[in-house]
Amino acid sequence: MDRVALRGLKARGHHGVFPREREEGQTFLVDLVMGLDTRPAAATDDLAKTVHYGVVAEEVVAIVEGDPVDLIETLAERIATQCLKHEGVQEVEVVVHKPDAPITVPFDDVTITITRSRV
């Protein structure tokens, strides 16, 4: 299976369990790796036969900027579900980064990584 990756998609969302997170919002970053067969697109040079990563990027940002959820696990699941709606995408790995998570000790990042497939 071939892979199309989007890394570092950035959007402001209001996700989290604390009132401050919901009110003020924070930056989330998303990495995606979508598994699909790119041979039909390569053979015909036809965008319609692969995944349009520009459209996927816009959809992911809309999800992050959209309805708030408590958990980044839920956010990752919503993103994966949307990616799998694209006809050629057979599987997707989603990483949601929450670099401004409300943690009281020094840290670089908090992430959740999920993999979902059509199977």
- Centroid of chain to Cα 14: 15
Residue 85 a catalytic site member:
no
Residue whose tokens read 């036809």: 46
- Interatomic CA distance for residues 119 and 100, integer angstroms: 34
User: In degrees rounded to 5, what are phi and psi of residue 36?
Assistant: -160, 165
Out of 10, 49, 85, 98, the active site residue is 98
Give kind and range of the element (H or E) at residue 15. Answer: none
Instruction: Write out the catalytic residue numbers.
Output: 98
